[in-house]
Amino acid sequence: MASLTLKNLAHSYHPNPGEDTDFALKEVNHTWEDGRAYALLGPSGCGKTTLLNIISGLLTPTSGHVLFDNKDVTASSTAERNIAQVFQFPVVYDTMTVGQNLAFPLRNRGMEVDYISQRVQRIAQMIGLEGDLHKKARGLTSDLKQKISLGRGMVRDDVNAILFDEPLTVIDPHLKWELRTQLKSLHREFGHTMIYVTHDQTEALTFAEKVVVMYDGRVVQIGTPKELFETPAHVFVGYFIGSPGMNFIPVSVAGRKANINGETINLNHDYGDPQGDVLLGIRPEFVRLTKGDGLPVQINHIQDVGRHKFVNATVFDVEINIAAGEGFEIESDMTRVEFDPSNISIFCDDWRINAEAVDQGTGAMT
């Protein structure tokens, strides 16, 4: 296993890139720690595959370096990087049995027969293939074939990292949960450095210890699921994480007060005097319908989803969502909304203002 360092890494598919917009991957600097499980999360076209291909050595970056345990591997081939990869679609040898498929990466490296057998048994047991080891891969369902691919990706214990590129796409929805849980246990047991690419927030948040969120070619935040939920660094993270995502309301801010259409919202921190496009961000879970205080609201529609009611409403021409918890009665004279001040974020030109830092007088953004 190894730590992965991305140093001034950027990539453009243009022959002579100039503008920022020419870059499919804008400059990133970060160390991904040894033995951690990361998810690379973002919408289609945001640069996930570009970054993964640079890490795996399929693509040479326009600038910057990739280091495995501080060794520069930017010019090394995929084979030299000693990584395992699991792709979106199963890659299995149809004429081999499940067991032979799982053993293949170990046989290829001349491992001892006893070790191979013990390792194959262990992996098969952990991903629920122990009853299928003697079956030929041909004719198995795509779910089972993808399980073999996952198993083959995990079978070596000497790889620097395992890269998963949307590995559960072909998996039946009810099996996805099971496989994600199994992957998590495999990670806990073997401690591989894992990078799991997905556009699905549920997959990312349930699998990874840290989620790397990408948007428009840029890594906008690397954080735990809790950090992404509570303190999204960029409006995209607020919007993309959570269902529905964070509400954003244009405001002006001065110190500890936000202002919208002459109404004041008290803030828990001093945000100074931010200049630019200022947005107040609040998750639907922290908006409360009231009868007396708060901003005037007009309810558009209510959706009952069992544990929650989602209320779609309008505050000064801005559409917002409210998650009303179980047992909360929505009454017709609830014409105002309040925001829980401890869960308000303020964004300036798309980036969250780090209120704690501003309180301390540094004014830094997160």
Residues 6+ apart with CB under 8 A from 347: 234, 235, 238, 248, 278, 279, 280, 281, 353
Cβ proximity to ligand ATP, 46 vs 213, nearer residue: 46
The site that binds ligand ATP (CB under 6 A) totals a number of residues, namely 11
242 binds ligand ATP (CB under 6 A): no
Contacting residue, 20, 45, 261, 319, with ligand ATP by CB under 6 A: 45
26 binds ligand ATP (CB under 6 A): no
Closest approach, Cβ 14 to ligand ATP, in A, equals 8
Contacting residue, 4, 26, 38, 49, with ligand ATP by CB under 6 A: 49
Closest approach, Cβ 66 to ligand ATP, in A, equals 16
Based on the number of CB atoms within 10 Å of its own CB, is 361 exposed (0-12), middle (13-18) or buried (19 or more)? exposed
Closest approach, Cβ 314 to ligand ATP, in A, equals 33
Closest approach, Cβ 199 to ligand ATP, in A, equals 5
Instruction: Report which of 262, 297, 267, 289 is spatially closest to residue 280, judged by C-alpha positions.
Output: 267
Cβ proximity to ligand ATP, 45 vs 296, nearer residue: 45
Q: Which stretch binds ligand ATP (CB under 6 A): 47-55, 136-144, 177-185, 358-366?
A: 47-55
Based on the number of CB atoms within 10 Å of its own CB, is 112 exposed (0-12), middle (13-18) or buried (19 or more)? exposed
47 binds ligand ATP (CB under 6 A): yes
Residues 50-109 contacting ligand ATP, CB under 6 A: 50
Q: What string marks each residue from 114 to 133 as x (binds ligand ATP by CB under 6 A) or -?
A: --------------------
CB 132 within 8 A of CB 144: yes
Direct distance between the N- and C-terminal alpha carbons of the chain, in angstroms, rounded to an integer: 30
Q: Which stretch binds ligand ATP (CB under 6 A): 44-52, 170-178, 300-308, 314-322?
A: 44-52
Strand 63-68 and strand 210-215: the pairing is unpaired
Cβ proximity to ligand ATP, 13 vs 115, nearer residue: 13
Contacting residue, 48, 119, 152, 210, with ligand ATP by CB under 6 A: 48
Q: What token pair was written down for 344?
A: 């308000």
Cβ proximity to ligand ATP, 52 vs 159, nearer residue: 52
44 binds ligand ATP (CB under 6 A): yes
| Cα–Cα distance measured from residue 231 to residue 346, given in angstroms and rounded to the nearest whole number | 10
- How far does CA 165 lie from the centroid of its chain? 13
Which whole-number Å values give the CA distances from 125 to 121, 159, 301, in the listed order? 6, 21, 49
Cβ proximity to ligand ATP, 24 vs 353, nearer residue: 24
Q: Which stretch binds ligand ATP (CB under 6 A): 37-45, 144-152, 179-187, 290-298?
A: 37-45
Which whole-number Å values give the CA distances from 334 to 93, 253, 260, 328, 337, in the listed order? 63, 27, 20, 12, 8
Contacting residue, 32, 42, 159, 320, with ligand ATP by CB under 6 A: 42
Closest approach, Cβ 222 to ligand ATP, in A, equals 16
Q: What string marks each residue from 197 to 216 as x (binds ligand ATP by CB under 6 A) or -?
A: --x-----------------
Q: What token pair was written down for 193?
A: 């450095």
Which residues here bind ligand ATP, judged by CB under 6 A? 13, 24, 42, 44-50, 199
